[in-house]
Amino acid sequence: MPDPRVCLEALSALSGCRVESTPGRSQIQPQDLVNIVALREFYKQEGLQELDYPSIGTMSLQDPDPDEPDLYGPAPSLTAGPDPGPGPGPALADRKPVKLNPEDFFHPQYDYDFTRIQDGDRRFLRGNEQYVRPCGWDRAALRVTQRYADGDGWLGTGRDAWPVSYQGHGMDGSIILVRGGEPEDEPGYLEAAAARLTERRTQGRGVYSTPDVRLAEKFCKTFRSQVDGKKYKVLLQNRINPETRSQCQREDVWVVYIQEGLNDVQTRALVEDAIRPYGLLLKEA
């Protein structure tokens, strides 16, 4: 497993909360993490400035100044009291911490280091669909077994398993515009992609992810660790419900549509039924 302290920094960077370790009860569970990451982007699409989340409170959805130093929890987040006490630095002084018990949150038995693995032409399946393994990344497994009423079949390798998807930062409808290489490599590709955005089925009011870790990396969050001084990229590795996800006009982009008129509780329930996390991915930048 990557250094647990670096993992907490990664969670801070990905969620926009200042995540701290506690020996007691965790305020959030792995499912909350993917909910927060997904809903942050969804509500930003909707033009909102804040997200209210149970057990945490009100979070700002605005991104910070990228030049702000020593900021591993990169989004202005929870309102704190006048005296936050000792912490990782002045950049986080105005943020209320979110407490997390690593023993309850991580599952080291299923950690996997992909940093030196190259799959080449080897193919893997999850849910009878291709699984692009996160080669080059180090995975800290999340404790998600025996946490869902329908059992653990979604997490397996058989036909009942759910396919794998990856999620990063800023993965909204603009993800369908991203192509490999540079824009000049494909003349007119922006115009063509923009035209497709006008199609109702690809406008996509919902939550986006991708089965291709290489595409997800274009949207990863980065942070500089105060533990070891290194710069890291971070992603979530999820399973996605094949019955609730839809494919955009890009075969490597999936969307879970959120219909108009749902309240916050219904929206969160829809996300929980569609996407389940099981790995926190780290890679040196």
Per-residue confidence (pLDDT) for residue 109, from 0 to 100:
95
Per-residue confidence (pLDDT) for residue 169, from 0 to 100:
82
Per-residue confidence (pLDDT) for residue 181, from 0 to 100:
41
Per-residue confidence (pLDDT) for residue 142, from 0 to 100:
97
Per-residue confidence (pLDDT) for residue 15, from 0 to 100:
87
pTM > 0.85: no
H or E element at residue 271:
helix 264-274
Per-residue confidence (pLDDT) for residue 170, from 0 to 100:
76
Tokens found for residue 75: 């989004």
Tokens found for residue 46: 């909707």
Listing DSSP states for 130-157 in one string gives E----TT-EEEEB--TT-STT-SGGGSS
Segments in the chain below pLDDT 50: 65-93, 179-202
